[in-house]
Amino acid sequence: MGLPAPLATFYVVAAGMLGLIFGSFATAVAYRLPRAESISSGRSKCPNCGNTITAIQNIPLFSYVVLRGRCKHCGDRISIRYPLIELVTALLFMGAALRFELSAEAVIYAGFFWALVVLTVIDLEYKLLPNKVVFPTFIAGWAGLAIAALAGGNPGRLVGAAVGAAIFGGFFFLVASLYPAGMGGGDVKLAFVLGTFLGYVGGPGVVLVGMFLSFLIGGIVGVGVMVTSGGDRKMQVPFGPFLALGTVLGIFLGRPLLDAYLGTF
């Protein structure tokens, strides 16, 4: 990182703290959006007793530890998913700061990671990838990346983003057309978004790495679920989380993995 060590450390830590705050917001969005509740108004409440959660009780990670994972009013256990979402979001924001340093791309990719966290949580619970998250991420992502690329004198990255969207999204669209039961419409729309962000950082090669990792992780987990469920093939496993994880790994590790693979030939 080009910043002096103390400033670089402060920058990454600040990104993590911001990630905790946005992670807390992600938990609210993932809870309210599928229930058609407003995400811009109304205080968070305990799902069990309905009491309003005060600001001091809603400090990311800290409040969960102090309250020992239980509601202060009714004593009902607070799901571990809330601090986990906050922690994962913080780590992703720190990763964006390290990967893209002090740049517009760091902000854009941090926002992209936040959207992936929200989509992952919703898909795991409802097997749904809401257009209200996917479409704004695609539009805002392209707008932000276009400004960053042109301002930074790297318009070629937009070509990589377009090719990435065509490869990832086009492949999923083809699969869905040939075998509609095997691919959800939400996965197809999300694939165009993922291809855009992968293509921007590394072109077609990194896009293919991200796709491969998505299918590899999804396949391993899918087989594991079948084994633990006694071979029940009717049990549905949402694919969105694996697409998100494969994409994140592709953004951080795609180029080194691709170079290592090509270096073996």
Domains identified in the chain, total number: 2
Task: Let me know whether 252 and 161 are in one domain.
Answer: yes
Same domain, 107 and 36: no
Q: Do residues 152 and 24 both lie within one domain?
A: no
Determine the pLDDT at residue 231. 59
Domain boundary among 80, 102, 124: 102
Which stretches of 33-103 are DSSP H helices? Answer: 62-66, 81-100
* Residues 69 and 155 grouped into a single domain: no
**184 and 244 share a domain?**
yes
Instruction: Judge if 257 and 160 occupy the same domain.
Output: yes
Residue 234 has what pLDDT? 60
Q: pLDDT class for 69, splitting at 50, 70, 90? A: confident
Looking at the structure, tell me whether residues 139 and 252 fall in a common domain: yes
Tell me: do 258 and 149 sit in the same domain.
yes
Question: Is 80 exceeded by the pLDDT of residue 82?
Answer: yes
Between 37 and 29, the higher pLDDT residue: 29
Is 148 in the same domain as 245? yes
144 and 254 in a single domain? The answer is yes
Mean pLDDT of 108-124: 97
Closest CA to 237 of 223, 257, 251, 247: 223
C-alpha to C-alpha distance for 126 and 185, rounded to whole angstroms: 14
pLDDT tens-place string over residues 191-203 = 999 999 999 999 9
The answer, yes or no, to whether residue 235 has pLDDT greater than 70, is no
Res. 90: pLDDT tops 90: yes
Q: Do 161 and 86 have their domain in common?
A: no
Same-domain check for residues 161 and 200:
yes
Structural domain of 47: 1-102
